[in-house]
Structure 1
Amino acid sequence: MKTILLVCSAGMSTSLLVTKMEGAAKDAGVECKIFALPFSDAPRVLEEVDCILLGPQVRFQKAAIEKLAAGRKAGAIPVDVIDMRDYGTMNGKAVFEAAMKMIG
């Protein structure tokens, strides 16, 4: 099972995106866990995730998250920023597909 973390500032709009991504995963027949946390809570779950997507509102934190992700015991985690258009339109399918490409 793949695990995808969305990092945001508060989690309100990101939780809606998580729901839409879960629907896209189900439609694709992919078993995965998708959840969102604020930036401050992300370091505590790094050992559990396969990729990290940052909301556009926290894109300035990308370097900090990449540094934390690189030091993970199980190896580096891919990190990227969610496309602003996909985030704004809550395009869960596109964001899910981007995450799956990151995971490989």
Structure 2
Amino acid sequence: MKILLACSSGMSTSLLVNKMKEAAQAEGIEAEIWAVSQSEVDEEIKKADVLLFGPQMRFLKKKFEPKGEELNIPVDVVPPMLYGRCDGKGVLKLAIDLINNK
């Protein structure tokens, strides 16, 4: 499974990415998880199974939903509570649920 996170610069989600990787490893889930800046989303979405935006970038969801539909990739926003707590396990579960329900 390939999980793409996007934020304004690609840096604020790096801690969350690390927590998600730890959670995936602890649960025996094989996952590639990475973060990019908003300017890289257009190209990187093609490599992903799901695209999640940081809460501060929620306005981009509407812009990328059509591309996600075209590629059969769910697009959503990480809930502020999960993001703020850097809840890697919770965001990993969100990504898995989105992939399974597409």
Taking the aligned partners of 1:81 and 1:46, their CA distance within structure 2 comes to 14
Taking the aligned partners of 1:94 and 1:32, their CA distance within structure 2 comes to 15
Normalised to the residue count of structure 1, the TM-score between the two structures is 0.91
Taking the aligned partners of 1:98 and 1:67, their CA distance within structure 2 comes to 20
Taking the aligned partners of 1:11 and 1:40, their CA distance within structure 2 comes to 9
Counterpart of 1:90 in structure 2 is 86
Once the 2 structures are TM-superposed, how far is the Cα of residue 13 of structure 1 from its aligned partner? 2.0
Counterpart of 1:45 in structure 2 is 44
Once the 2 structures are TM-superposed, how far is the Cα of residue 87 of structure 1 from its aligned partner? 0.3
Taking the aligned partners of 1:12 and 1:36, their CA distance within structure 2 comes to 7
Q: How does 1:66-85 map to 2 (within 5 A)?
A: 66-72=65-71, 76-85=72-81
Unaligned runs of 5+ in 2: none
Normalised to the residue count of structure 2, the TM-score between the two structures is 0.93
Counterpart of 1:100 in structure 2 is 96
Deviations 1:29-88 (A, max 9, x none): 01110000111101112221100111000001101111222233xxx2101100101101
**Runs of 4 or more off by more than 6 Å in structure 1?**
none
The answer as to whether partners of 2:55 and 2:79 remain within 8 angstroms in 1 is yes
